[in-house]
Amino acid sequence: MLIKFWITHVLVCLLALTASAKTDDPVSLFTNHTGDNDWTNPQNWEDQTLPGTNHIARLGRSAIARITTNMTVGALQNGVNASSSVIMDGGTITTTSRSLYNSASYNQSGSSLTILNGGQLYIESYFIVGVRGTPGGSVSISNGTLFVKGVYAHNRDFSEPAARNTRTTVHPDGTLNVGSLDLNAGVLDISGGTVIVRQDNRYQLQEWIENGRIVAMGGVDGWKIKIGYNEETAETLLTVEECEIILGKMDGRLTLNPQFVM
């Protein structure tokens, strides 16, 4: 009886492993072989084929990819084992996987994501700007949108006090819209744009502001973070405003948007 149970258990495990192997997501590697930075050029992909809707689109060493049209992939993974850059130049990428990670920089410093000219990136799962102790990576959003259904993380799984150069900058007409924030290192710089967090975490946000993890306009004097909460949409909104001048002194206290309630 025990032998029969053991054999059955082994068969079930083998079947599970086989099924898992069969459902592994294919990886498409962008090499920028032609040097024109064109995402839609098949010659820039390792297998000369554009990634499909279930493919992991990953960038190779020193590759720069410019997206000017609408694309759908399983996941977008930048800065994995090699420094690379993604530029959303008016184009749109939509990811479909609810479990695969997406990244501007994973384990390679110097990797970056730039969104401009109305570019949009929609992430169905979560987004990483550096994992653990990766020295740095960057995201810059200008006149565009980065939407993340899950968590947006700086240095995911990192808990040491050492400084990291990880940085996200939201410029005018730029929007970072996330399910939640996890700022373990680096800086979130709101430089005229808007950050939307689809939950009420005002106290954690205020702590990050006070600790310099979230800054206004690059941290220059005369600006402060404005934070508010919309009860109807259950969203927390972060923007910036100029400090009030009182008797020759700048009042840098955290203030609330009057359209929202605390």
**pLDDT digits 0-9 by tens, 67-118:** 999 999 999 999 998 899 999 999 999 999 999 999 999 988 889 999 999 9
What is the rounded average pLDDT of the residues 18-29? 64
H helical segments located in the chain? 2-22, 202-210
DSSP secondary-structure letter at 25? Answer: P
pLDDT of residue 245: 67
pLDDT of residue 8: 42
pLDDT of residue 192: 97
Strand partners, 146: 121, 176
Question: How far apart are the C-alpha atoms of 119 and 68, rounded to whole Å?
Answer: 8
How many degrees, rounded to 5, is the angle at CA 148 between CA 87 and CA 20?
95
DSSP secondary-structure letter at 243? Answer: P
Which residue is associated with the tokens 């554009």? 50
Question: Are 184 and 155 in contact, with CB atoms under 8 Å apart?
Answer: yes
Query: 142: closest CA among 89, 217, 76?
Result: 89
**pLDDT digits 0-9 by tens, 115-135:** 999 999 999 999 999 887 788
The amino acid that residue 78 corresponds to is N
pLDDT of residue 108: 86
**pLDDT digits 0-9 by tens, 155-190:** 888 877 666 789 999 999 999 999 999 999 999 999
Q: pTM score, two decimals?
A: 0.84
DSSP secondary-structure letter at 163? Answer: -
Question: How far apart are the C-alpha atoms of 209 and 224, rounded to whole Å?
Answer: 9
Helix or strand run (H / E) with residue 105: strand 101-105
Question: Are 193 and 215 in contact, with CB atoms under 8 Å apart?
Answer: no
Domain spans, the chain = 23-198
